[in-house]
Every structure is written in structure tokens, then in C-alpha cells.
Amino acid sequence: MAILTLTDEESLGPVVDHHETVVIDFWAPWCAPCKGFLPILEKASDRHPELAFCRVNTEEHKELAQAFDVESIPTLVVIRDRIMIASQPGMLPEDVLEDLIGKVKELDMDEVREEMAKTEEKKGAEL
């Protein structure tokens, strides 16, 4: 499957609307680890055509990187059911990326939403 290029939050909307799981690689053209990660991302994209794989050039699209609190590159973000499940800075080896994808697929999203609701309740009670 092709890797999509995201430029802003508007370009992200249709991707998360049409895919249960979205993997986003935040990168920059001058970043050697980012260049090294691209073939790994491409292989994962081929192995998991049911997922949406995207890239964000942080030099050209700083606002989108800021929206995800990206502080270093490369950073990989995984979204499932419109919920950010993981944000991992640094270049991931192929086996680690595959493990992460497997764990994201196995998540019980009802439990994730339940846990998020509990966290929000605690925050509200602390105010």
C-alpha cells in the first residue's frame, strides 16, 4: 500500500475516518535515522494493507507536528479508532515496529475508552 503524505489536520481527517488504524511517521529531510526508517515503514505498509501509513515532513508542516507534541524525529504515532494509542520517538527496528502493530491490533478498544473515561473523571475530581 502507498504511504500517504499528510500536510495538515484537514488531510488527516479523511484518513482517520476511513481507517481503523493509522500509523504516522514524523520526519525531516536532513534526518539520517528518518531516511533509514522509510524502508522499514514501506515494508510494514506492504505487510499491513488494512492500516493507513502516513508521513509528515516536520520541516514543511510544523503545525501538524506540534498538534501531536512531536519534540524529536523520527517520531512514530499510532491512532486507532481516533484515539492516539502510541507516540514513540526514535527509529524503530523492523521487529519492534511489527510488535507494536501487533499489540495495537490486539487492543480491546472498549477497555481503552473505559480507562480514558476513568482518567477524565479523576482529572475532573481533582479540579
CATH number of the domain encompassing residue 104: 3.40.30.10
Total-model pTM: 0.90
Give the relative orientation of helices 94-106 and 32-47 as an angle to the nearest 10 degrees: 50
| CA proximity to 5, closest of 18, 24, 19, 20 | 24
The answer, yes or no, to whether residue 100 has pLDDT greater than 70, is: yes
Catalytic residue list: 31, 34
Preceding amide of 29 cis, omega within 30? no
Q: Mean of the per-residue pLDDT values for the chain?
A: 92
Query: Which domain does 41 fall in, by range?
Result: 4-126
Q: How many structural domains is the chain composed of?
A: 1
- Tens of pLDDT, residue by residue over 54-86, are 999 999 999 999 999 999 999 999 999 999 999
